[in-house]
């Protein structure tokens, strides 16, 4: 009984550290992924592979160290920016399926943290 208590106490330590780190960045990855799915972003994007659109890791690398990165991304995914595909076709980029600023900010933050 006592050993079991110690074992579960030990298991709880990394979980607590993990939760602290996750909340320190303030990003809810699950909510971000859900919103991306709901908005059909994942037909053209994935976290680590280039599809029709660049991998989110690549986007994060491009914006690394830029203070206004989050604001730029929010604008990009809410304004329907004109983009050019590799074959030269122009299209209007998809717009996020949400009017909730907090939710949109969370998604932008998640993309930048990849
Ligand atoms: C039809 C395909 C398609 C869909 C759907 C799509 N994207 Fe994109 N996305 C692209 C392409 C292509 C680019 C590259 C544009 C460029 O480099 O000019 C891009 C670029 C981006 C970028 C990088 C912008 C930058 O400044 O470098 C972000 C962030 C992004 N998309 C997020 C999203 C989100 C969030 C969604 C869902 C609302 C989404 N995309 C849906 C094709 C798509």
114: nearest Cα among 38, 71, 75, 62: 62
pLDDT tens track, the chain, 114 positions:
566 766 666 666 666 555 555 445 789 999 999 999 999 999 999 999 999 999 999 999 999 999 999 999 999 999 998 998 888 999 999 999 999 999 999 999 999 999
Alpha-carbon span 13 to 54, nearest angstrom: 37
Amino acid 18: pLDDT: 56
The model's pTM: 0.83
CA of 81 to the centre of ligand 1 (A): 9
**Helices 29-38 and 101-112, axial angle in degrees (round to 10):** 110
Which residues line ligand 1 at a C-beta cut-off of 6 Å? 36, 39-41, 43-45, 52-54, 59, 62, 73, 76-77, 83-85, 93-94, 96, 107, 111
In the reported structure, the alpha carbon of residue 19 is separated from the centroid of ligand 1 by a whole-number distance in angstroms of 30
Q: With H, G, I as helix, E, B as strand and everything else as coil, classify residue 27.
A: coil
CA of 41 to the centre of ligand 1 (A): 7
Task: List domains and CATH numbers for the chain.
Answer: 28-112 (1.10.760.10)
Q: For position 13, what pLDDT does the model report?
A: 62
């Amino acid at each position: 009984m006592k050993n079991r208590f110690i074992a579960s106490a030990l298991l709880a330590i990394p979980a607590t550290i993990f939760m602290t780190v996750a909340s320190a960045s303030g990003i809810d990855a699950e909510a971000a992924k859900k919103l991306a799915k709901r908005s059909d972003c994942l037909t053209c994007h994935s976290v680590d592979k280039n599809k029709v659109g660049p991998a989110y890791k690549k986007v994060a690398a491009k914006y690394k160290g830029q203070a206004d990165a989050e604001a730029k991304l929010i604008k990009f995914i809410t304004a329907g920016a004109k983009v050019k595909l590799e074959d030269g076709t122009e299209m209007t980029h998809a717009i996020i399926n949400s009017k909730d600023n907090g939710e949109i900010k969370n998604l932008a933050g998640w993309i930048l943290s990849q």
